[in-house]
Amino acid sequence: MSSDDYTASDAVEDGTEGVNDQGVPAYAQAAVIGSILASLGYAISDLILSVQSTLFAPVRAFASGIATFITGTLGAPVIITDAGAATAASSFASGTAALLGPFAFPVAVAVSVSGVLVFLWFVSNTSITPWTIFGDEDE
């Protein structure tokens, strides 16, 4: 019998053997003390795991925010370029993309690059620091 097949009748048999070997008072005392010690061990391990997850929750949130920021900043030009490549491929068929023809892909690349350059220009021309966000830096 494997350890996964432990049934109620197996528990009753184990209890009967324990009572026969040790007697009722000794077996009850061992079972109660053992249960209390097991519960205490589970509670301590739960406490350790909850403290660990509480301490690392801000780190996980910060990492998730940084990943979202990077995806939003650098992922958008990739999506635009990919859409431009798909438009260039389908521009020979019909639709408004046919106006650009084979130049749809270079236009999409130019839009992506110009968007990144505008973002970099904004970052280089602003002086945002944690001190200016939370208070006046002249104080």
Task: With respect to residue 18, please indicate whether it lies within any of the assigned structural domains.
Answer: yes
Confidence category of residue 88, pLDDT binned at 50, 70, 90: low
pLDDT digits (tens, 9 = 90+) for 29-72: 777 788 888 889 999 999 998 988 888 999 999 999 998 888 87
Side-chain half-sphere exposure of 131, counting CA atoms within 13 A: 5
R_g of the chain computed on alpha carbons: 34
Q: Are 108 and 84 in contact (CB under 8 A)?
A: yes
Confidence category of residue 82, pLDDT binned at 50, 70, 90: confident
Element holding 23 (H helix, E strand) = none
User: Residue 116 burial (CB < 10 Å; 0-12/13-18/19+)?
Assistant: middle
The three-point CA angle 93-96-98 to 5° equals: 40
Side-chain half-sphere exposure of 89, counting CA atoms within 13 A: 6
- Range(s) of the domain holding residue 49: 3-134
Task: With respect to residue 139, please indicate whether it lies within any of the assigned structural domains.
Answer: no
pLDDT given at position 135: 64
Task: With respect to residue 83, please indicate whether it lies within any of the assigned structural domains.
Answer: yes
pLDDT given at position 62: 92
pLDDT given at position 91: 62
Q: Taking the mean position of all CA atoms in its chain, how far away is CA 94? A: 43
Side-chain half-sphere exposure of 1, counting CA atoms within 13 A: 6
Task: With respect to residue 109, please indicate whether it lies within any of the assigned structural domains.
Answer: yes
Q: What letter represents residue 60's amino acid? A: R
Domain count, the chain: 1
Task: Say which residue the tokens 């438009």 belong to.
Answer: 87
- How far apart (Å, rounded) are the C-alpha atoms in residues 93 and 101? 9
Confidence category of residue 130, pLDDT binned at 50, 70, 90: low
Polymer length in residues for the chain: 139
Residue 8 has pLDDT above 70, yes or no: yes
pLDDT digits (tens, 9 = 90+) for 110-119: 877 887 788 8
